[in-house]
Structure 1
């Protein structure tokens, strides 16, 4: 018996030396263990850093307004300015993702024209320059997510002229208030757009994950 036991022990030691797997050792990676895996960049429009860039620019507008008018004119006063050419925002319900993206692009194209009025009243405005630059990036990113991006086109030169003509006013103060109102409304347009798009993308992602989970259970 001792000789047989020694033989078994010797055999086991030889198998270990040769790298043979031990029967009781777990060979599968535990569920949920992502060691060694790297998460790639998000493909969601709502996760694009362009949002932070453009909203970072427009969010500075209130302070600039208050610094210019020294609280003689309250920022909320701009809410009383009605500009008929302002684009509609995306509603939170009863609107498809595609329709929302289309409205987002259409709205940004209009704001690009309206920003020309801001630029005329405030030629050195850094906020206006940044808003124009990042609006172009956001338009291109949004179009990439659309099924039919060609359905949304830029305004014609005639439409642009008419849009800017409607903003003309002989009163300097009124023109400046209009310019500030455009920047204020652009900020809220962007905030609303990001929230709605985020909601639609996250909801769709959750539904997709749930469907995959149900399929795996079958």
Structure 2
């Protein structure tokens, strides 16, 4: 587990990131699974991560191709899950202005802050994807869904 000191700059960065998270209220956990609510959350979260992944693409030049692939796959998954929602219009997709604003807030003139930001984004993205995989696997096993 990754821990940080209470007053560290890293904690400040983490608190300002506002990364999507899957919580109990989202209906994605086995107990209290709510398909519609969960799919909405997963799709919205994946669309929200697009901007964060774009930031990583800009700051992590050595892995440009891998990050591009990750961005494409994430967008495709978000779109696919959105199509599974009964009312796709309820899926929150960040508008262009919000994305540009967030992207500029993520940038820093300090390379180490950008590295920490990248680390935190990837860590939370990994956690979000783990929960996404669990939910999709659960759906696959409980209905005729391929």
The number of equivalent residue pairs is 131
Distance 2:116 2:86 in 1: 38
1:193 to 99, 116, 132: 132
Counterpart for residue 21 of structure 2: 88
Counterpart for residue 50 of structure 2: 112
Q: Give the RMSD, CA atoms, in angstroms.
A: 2.6
Any idea what SS the aligned residue of 2:18 has?
coil
Unaligned runs of 5+ in 2: 5-9
2:98 to 148, 159, 182: 159
- Maintained 8 Å contact 1:87/1:107: yes
Any idea what SS the aligned residue of 2:17 has?
coil
2:82 to 133, 143, 152: 143
- Maintained 8 Å contact 2:52/2:121: yes
- Maintained 8 Å contact 2:107/2:114: yes
Alpha-carbon shift at residue 124 of structure 1 (Å): 3.9
Q: Please say which structure displays the higher CA radius of gyration.
A: 1
Alpha-carbon shift at residue 178 of structure 1 (Å): 0.7
Higher helix share: 2
Distance 2:69 2:92 in 1: 22
Alpha-carbon shift at residue 114 of structure 1 (Å): 0.7
Alpha-carbon shift at residue 95 of structure 1 (Å): 4.5
CA deviations on 1:176-202 (whole Å, 9 max, x unpaired) are 121122122211111111112323443
1:1-218 equivalences in 2 (<5 Å): 76=2, 82=14, 83-91=16-24, 92=29, 93-125=31-63, 126-202=65-141, 204-205=142-143
Q: Is the alpha carbon distance of 1:84 and 1:108 closer, same or farther for their aligned partners in structure 2, counting shifts above 3 Å?
A: same
TM-score of the aligned structures, taking structure 2 as reference length: 0.75
TM-score of the aligned structures, taking structure 1 as reference length: 0.52
